Chain A
Amino acid sequence: MSHYSEVAIELTDEGCLVAALSRLGFKGKMEVHWEAEPLYGYQGDARAQKAHIIIRQQHVGRAANDLGFERQADGKYRVWVSEYDQKYNKYDSAWMGKLKQAYGVEKARAEAKKKGYRVSEKKLDDGRIQLVLRR
């Protein structure tokens, strides 16, 4: 080996973000919009926040609000999660970490395949996901 790097994952790729959310159980439960659409609260009230990728409240949890991912001008996605859903439906920092983990796996797989790598994936006992790239 010649070096190690540590990278903090950023959400920038729509397709990989959708694939990551599918890994977390939202396959077929997402809306993907070209233009950002409003998010709605648990009482059906439109919120000020908008998003390009939306998981509607019925898929989020009990008495939940919509969950959204809004693409910013710099290409990064901003995540909209209500305080209630962070606290009572477990969409907290631990969930965000798992989302970034799943996103990173999908993004690395996609980019590696473009470069001609063969990719193998393994889930480790401590929760880590390992990818090995060879060609």
Chain B
Amino acid sequence: MSTEIVLEFWEDGQVNLEGKGFKGQACFKEMQFLKDALGVETSFTKKQEFYQAEVNRDGKVKAR
């Protein structure tokens, strides 16, 4: 499944970031550069997929 990051910028200066198609903490790592660049993170919500194991290209499950 392909991955993408969706950002929605509100007129009050807040931005919501959402990772789609990521498994496990890959999403967290991939989006960190945007959070660092934009400002201060004010809330964080884990979705179900956050707790799913990351699977390497060779099919091995990464240790968590």
A interface list, Cβ under 8 A from B: 1-10, 13, 94, 96-101, 104-105, 107-108, 111-112, 115, 117, 124, 127-134
Contact = CB atoms under 8 A, between A and B. Distances in A.
A111 B5 CA distance: 13
B6 A130 contact: yes
B38 A108 contact: yes
Q: How large is the interface on B (under 10, 10 to 19, 20 to 34, 35 or more residues)?
A: 35 or more
A132 B8 CA distance: 9
A112 B34 CA distance: 8
Nearest to B49: A2
B10 A108 contact: no
A4 B14 CA distance: 13
Nearest to A98: B11
Nearest to A16: B37
